[in-house]
């Protein structure tokens, strides 16, 4: 089932997984044991544009990388739910929805692998994924980006929603 313009136009909240969505899923291990990830600058720009346009942006990830958390905080992402058991991601999501009184039909969740399945399979959530997501995730996603995780998938999805709402490209109006 493909997402429609009407479904994109209802979205008020973006929720992203980290590894495999904001990153390409690679984790580089340093001699110190520290891990680092790479995030696409265009994906970062899209998140900034979404925040400036008044969208809520949340992160739900079992990863608890301090560098990623610091980067998100510096980007002014306020709703960051990182760490905890992989099988508890859905509880973090439900806690966020309940805490903030979010309407699931206004949420677009972007995930890429099996731990995202319980959230993405919820009937009212608009589910999206990168092109290289797990087969099971692609099967339930209403929108599959032509871009891979960490390589523009976030930009693509955010841009699709913002274009449907006439909010993409506002930076061009200031030139």
The annotation status of 112 as a binding-site residue, yes or no, is yes
- HSE at residue 166, side-chain half, CA atoms within 13 A, is 0
For residues 81 and 92, is the Cβ–Cβ distance under 8 A?
Answer: yes
User: Is 100 known to sit in a ligand binding site?
Assistant: no
DSSP letter for each residue of the chain: ----HHHHHT--EEEE-STTTTS-S--EEPTTS-EE----HHHHHHHHHHHHTT-EEEEEES---HHHHHHHHHTT--EEEE-S-GGGHHHHHHHHHHHHT--GGGEEEE--SGGGHHHHTSTTSEEEE-TTS-HHHHHH-SEE-SSPTTTTHHHHHHHHHHHHTT-TTGGGGG-
- Rounded to 5 degrees, what are φ and ψ at 151? -130, 35
Tell whether residue 156 is among the known ligand binding residues.
no
- Binding-site residue positions for substrate: 19
Point out the annotated binding site for Mg(2+). Answer: 17, 112
Tell me the binding residues: 17, 19, 112
């Amino acid at each position: 089932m493909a997402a429609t313009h009407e479904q994109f136009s209802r979205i008020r909240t973006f929720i992203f997984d980290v590894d495999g969505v904001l990153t390409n899923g690679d984790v580089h291990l340093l001699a110190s044991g520290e891990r680092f990830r790479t995030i696409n600058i265009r994906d970062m720009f899209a998140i900034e544009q979404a925040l400036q346009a008044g969208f809520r942006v949340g992160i739900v990830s079992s990863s608890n990388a301090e560098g990623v958390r610091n980067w998100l905080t510096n980007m002014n992402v306020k709703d960051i739910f990182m760490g905890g058991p992989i099988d508890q991601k859905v509880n973090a999501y439900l806690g966020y929805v309940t805490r903030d009184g979010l309407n699931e039909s206004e949420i677009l969740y972007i995930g890429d692998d099996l731990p995202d399945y319980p959230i993405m399979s919820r009937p009212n959530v608009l589910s999206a994924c990168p092109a290289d997501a797990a087969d099971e995730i692609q099967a339930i996603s209403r929108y599959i980006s032509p871009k891979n995780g960490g390589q523009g998938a976030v930009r693509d999805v955010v841009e699709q929603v913002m274009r449907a709402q006439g909010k993409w490209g506002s930076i061009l109006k200031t030139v």
